[in-house]
Structure 1
Amino acid sequence: MYTGPQTFGEIVEHRAKLRPYDRFIRFLDDELTYGEYHQQGNQVANAALSLGLRKGDSCAVMLPNSREFLITWLGLARIGAIEVPINTGFRGDLLAYILNQARCQSIVIQSDWIERINDLANQLQYLKQVIVVGALPEQKSNLFTWYSFEQLISQASDHRIEASIQANDPSLILFTSGTTGPSKGVVLTHSANFSLAHTACEVMEYKREDRLFTVFPLFHVNARYTTVLVALLVGCDVVMHDRFSASKFWDICRKEGITAFNFMGSMLTILMKQKQQANDDDHSVRKAYGAPTPIEIYEDFKQRFQVEITEVYGSTELGTVAANPAKQFRKGACGKILPIYEVEIHDENNQPCPVGKSGEIVVRPKKPGIMFTDYYGNAEATIKAWQDLWFHTGDTGRLDEDGYLYFIDRKKDVVRRRGENISSYEVERVINDHPQVLEAAIIGVPSELSEEEVLAAVIVKEGEKLSPENLLNFCQSRMAHFAIPRYIRFVKSLPRTPSQRVEKYKLRTEGITDDTWDREQIGFQVKR
């Protein structure tokens, strides 16, 4: 395990000196050794300096998982510039908001998406330079200076940059999803990123012999710090793809010799919904890391695929707060609180709840430098999040007598129906267990009686048929009567973030559509 200076440039240089010709990352059609990574990161650093970027300046990066993204990450880290990774799906007002909010004076962007910058040219207050990976456009705004990424790199020196970069220096600004308001820019230091990576290494017991697989994007904390940085810490290598394919997943793992993968959202459920094969356990994968773990499929997943599951609880701001390692796994829990954090459950008056009672999960660190410093340029949001010197997660949960943390739901995803608080997560778990269901998402929609009603957006497995009545009959013996959905909407897909989380705000915006089934109109009776 690497124990040197906790900055990204230092750890890459350390690995490059030890094993310059060993493979570090394999993409779909490209590979990068430790030595190449170190050298090309230096080239990006020198190119960035030639354009006037300096320590503390912010530079946006809008690229797919690729060599160019990795070496840009490293090059910016080497000079102390603050990287602003941007979701490749963003465009329009949201893209303009992020570039302005983070005061980005430069952006490195794939040529396919240049029109998004041209369209916003008059709205961008700070952007001066556009560095294009791929062909430069014929039509481009004269408000910016345009550069070819490839040309800059080919002309740049690969000598080492002598910059004073400290572990507590800001490394990047990651913007949250912004589903309840404007996206917030989470400022993370090198030490916070290393804390998250060290925790993943410890709970997963990663070794140099491991080969990690990720399908998550490099503009997300998961791929960056629980896969790429983890691999640098232990000296193993990574296979990185652009997206999750359930039908090809295990074939990829077999071909690449994968020993561990990360999961998020509904990945485990979707893998379990695939048609059973005789060789489901014929692969080298030994363990998986992520959240959440549906307890209904936990044992079956382990037995079918012979993979041990470790669940964690955390956020972009905090890193990992609680861990439920495979060897001490407690079904239904997120795990025990890590020694580096203190956690309480608070009620609506910000008072601690007794053991077993649910409320908001609030957190504070026991060590310096392990979590975010602030929301960039947003003092009001930072102060609000730190009420009474506790970081308020916006999640509801509870603690048991043994100190295990249980996640219930995001506060904004709890459905309030006729005086009852309904966990969308718990309802989804039941519906997802139906043999004809591929996946479901639960939201609250306005009720004519005030508060909300429960709507289930459901994807039926390919080739299967399912009636709303059949689904609700399945629910009757498995959940409280007041939690049974009033509305059922069958959909072909669910809107998702790149980390595979369902974008429920989009479902709420659509609301009750013309094709939504209403059990009260049909006269379906719910048993009490």
Structure 2
Amino acid sequence: MTGRPVSDQLSGTSVLHGIESGLARGSDTTLFFNHESYPLAELDREANQLADFFSSQVSPGDRIGVMARNGRMALLTWWAAAKCGGIVVPYNTSNVGEILRHQVTDSAPRLLIAQTEFAEELVRCSSGIAADLAAVVVDGSDAAVAGYSGTTFTFDAVLAQGDSGFRARPSRPRDPSHLIYTAGTTGPSKACVVSHSYICNMARDLITNVERRSEERLWTPLPLFHLAAVAHVTASVLLGGSISLASRFSVSRFWDDIEKSEAKIAALMGSMLPMIAQAPETEATRRTRGQLRVVSGSPVSAELARVWQERFGVSRVGAGAYGMTEASLITSTPPDQYRAGSAGKENDSFEVRIVDEDGNRVPADAVGEIVCRPKRPGAMFNGYWRRPEQTVTAWRDLWFHTGDLGRIDPDGFLYFVDRNKDYLRRGGENISSFEMEAIFGAHPDIVVVAVHAVPSELNEDEVKVTAVRVEGSSLTASELHEWSVGRVPRYAMPRYIEFRTELPRNPVGRVLKHQLRAEGITADTWASAPSVRKIRV
């Protein structure tokens, strides 16, 4: 690998140290948003200007909420928050209604930054904290937001007035950088407190995992409200490489984007890989054969990897790693040891075991729960935001319990098997069954509802709603599906709906979701019309 040794990548406490180091050595680091280039020095100046404004509105430790697609607004909000000691809270751009309201209320930001298309919904969902908001910043030429009477600014005006020489506030490695929301199973979604050190450590492991080279550009549609994209940007800065971020993903446009970006590595959601593999051949497909050295995504079977290798000429297919918001990367692939279908091996950031229900270590190739604990300080999240009890519960016998099932073969390679927790994952997003059931349970014709996973051909889950209607109701599945539009995020819209007279329960009355999942799609299941499955980020 060219460039600095990997051992030198974690040279500071945050991405800001990587920026300072890169500027000092004249780094050619460039970020591209939808193929438009932004040199590191230019972005750093604008981050200073935004940080100057932030420092007049917030104090260190205050939250700064942002709802924006991949672009300057999302990136600069993160960097400016780091410069002034704020904590950035990136909200999923698909979230609406009660799910978004819970996250805004829970994180209690002092500032809201939003693209115009999301501003009205974000402000509407912040009504419970309106008195505590210092200001709202939106893009476009008009700062006004319908339904909001507080102070507003336009993004460009804020940048124009800021001081490009703003001096960043010193930070410590364990200082919080982000609040990242992750799905709950028995309660609302909760935020992981992610430190600067965590992000730098994950970036370091990403560099090692795919043997990334400073001269190779990485292209990704992963959104900056996901930790993976944040870490890939940080890795690019630390390595002195370049990264191209797309604001939207399209199967039909994928190879055109790869060709235009000149990327050698593509970082994708796992569900994207089978969609691309099944797409028709195009001129761009033929022209770019062999351009990509690595395509990451998880999970990826050995069979799917072979399709990518044979059809597209990609040397390595799959992330070859395992992680979650609370801890990443738990496992990764050592140099020259890529094994298709595996999640890599224990690395020097985490200790990993497979255990049974009593916490006992199981033999090689036996299936059990994946547990881990860090070898490095600051390699894991700091805990769940304002939820100390849930933080403690996640740790048993000094091991963090992931809730996922896996096995480790005799050579030490981890293989993901299934989820043990009652949650769903679709389109790269974790979905809270608790929050979904609260939404559908609010329909006046629904008595009880269970939201659960059924298998998908795209390596993740499809969402199924199984419900009992009030007696005499004529509510149809298609009507319930239409009712959920605007109440449920796009990525969580149910593919299947089924009405029953009762739901299966255990002796104490708990709905047996594992039974519903096993029964899957029955003769009485209604299915929505197949969609193109464009994933917007």
TM-score, scaled to structure 1 = 0.78
AA of the residue aligned to 1:260: I
Equivalent positions of 1:187-336 (< 5 A) are 187-225=193-231, 227-277=232-282, 279=286, 282=289, 284-307=291-314, 308-309=316-317, 310-324=319-333, 327-336=336-345
SS in 1 for 2:321: strand
Give distance in 2, aligned partners of 1:414 and 1:256. 35
Give distance in 1, aligned partners of 2:125 and 2:376. 42
SS in 2 for 1:153: helix
AA of the residue aligned to 1:265: G
Give the corresponding residue for 1:27.
33
Query: Residue 157 of structure 2 is aligned with which of 151, 154, 165?
Result: 151
1:294-341 residue CA offsets vs partner (Å, 9 max, x unmatched):
222221211111112242110111011112468423343212111321
SS in 2 for 1:328: coil
Give the Å deviation of 1:356.
2.6
Give the Å deviation of 1:277.
4.7
Give distance in 1, aligned partners of 2:406 and 2:226. 24
Give the Å deviation of 1:203.
1.6
Give distance in 2, aligned partners of 1:432 and 1:99. 31
Equivalent positions of 1:480-495 (< 5 A) are 486=522, 489=527, 491-493=529-531
Give the Å deviation of 1:228.
0.8
Give distance in 1, aligned partners of 2:290 and 2:364. 42
Give the Å deviation of 1:224.
1.1
8 Å contact 1:444–1:453 — kept in the other structure?
no
Equivalent positions of 1:66-465 (< 5 A) are 66-124=71-129, 126-134=132-140, 135-137=142-144, 139-142=146-149, 144-178=150-184, 180-225=186-231, 227-277=232-282, 279=286, 282=289, 284-307=291-314, 308-309=316-317, 310-324=319-333, 327-412=336-421, 428=456, 441=462, 451=512
Give the corresponding residue for 1:420.
none
Identify unmatched segments of 5+ residues in structure 2: 425-451, 467-499, 506-511
8 Å contact 2:266–2:294 — kept in the other structure?
yes
Does the C-alpha gap of structure 1 residues 32 and 246 become closer, same or farther in structure 2, counting only changes over 3 Å?
same
8 Å contact 1:455–1:485 — kept in the other structure?
no
Give the corresponding residue for 1:40.
46
SS in 2 for 1:104: coil
Give distance in 2, aligned partners of 1:364 and 1:496. 36
8 Å contact 1:203–1:323 — kept in the other structure?
yes
SS in 2 for 1:151: helix
1:166-223 residue CA offsets vs partner (Å, 9 max, x unmatched):
2221111111133553111101111110111000101212122111101111111111
Give distance in 1, aligned partners of 2:343 and 2:122. 41
Give the Å deviation of 1:491.
3.9
Give distance in 2, aligned partners of 1:123 and 1:87. 19
Give the Å deviation of 1:66.
1.0
Give distance in 2, aligned partners of 1:292 and 1:71. 31
SS in 2 for 1:368: coil
AA of the residue aligned to 1:407: F
Does the C-alpha gap of structure 1 residues 262 and 23 become closer, same or farther in structure 2, counting only changes over 3 Å?
same
Give the Å deviation of 1:242.
1.2
AA of the residue aligned to 2:251: A
Higher relative contact order (CA 8 A, sep 6+): 2
8 Å contact 2:353–2:361 — kept in the other structure?
yes
1:251-300 residue CA offsets vs partner (Å, 9 max, x unmatched):
22112211101122211111110123571653521112231112222212
Give distance in 2, aligned partners of 1:184 and 1:293. 28
Does the C-alpha gap of structure 1 residues 104 and 497 become closer, same or farther in structure 2, counting only changes over 3 Å?
farther
Give the Å deviation of 1:45.
1.0
AA of the residue aligned to 2:237: L
Identify unmatched segments of 5+ residues in structure 1: 416-422, 434-438, 457-481, 500-528
TM-score, scaled to structure 2 = 0.77
Give distance in 2, aligned partners of 1:9 and 1:407. 34
Equivalent positions of 1:52-63 (< 5 A) are 53-63=58-68
Give distance in 1, aligned partners of 2:96 and 2:107. 16
Give distance in 2, aligned partners of 1:14 and 1:162. 14
1:70-109 residue CA offsets vs partner (Å, 9 max, x unmatched):
1221111111111111111223222222122122111111
Identical-pair percentage: 30
8 Å contact 1:314–1:321 — kept in the other structure?
yes
8 Å contact 2:67–2:93 — kept in the other structure?
yes
Give distance in 1, aligned partners of 2:94 and 2:219. 22
Give distance in 2, aligned partners of 1:121 and 1:256. 38
Give distance in 1, aligned partners of 2:223 and 2:189. 18
8 Å contact 1:61–1:86 — kept in the other structure?
yes
Give distance in 1, aligned partners of 2:186 and 2:270. 19
Give the corresponding residue for 2:445.
none
Give the corresponding residue for 2:11.
4
Does the C-alpha gap of structure 1 residues 388 and 185 become closer, same or farther in structure 2, counting only changes over 3 Å?
same
AA of the residue aligned to 2:418: D
SS in 2 for 1:372: coil
More displaced 10-residue stretch of structure 1: 131-140 or 300-309: 131-140
Q: CA RMSD in A?
A: 3.0
Give the Å deviation of 1:497.
7.8
SS in 2 for 1:124: helix
Give the Å deviation of 1:162.
4.5
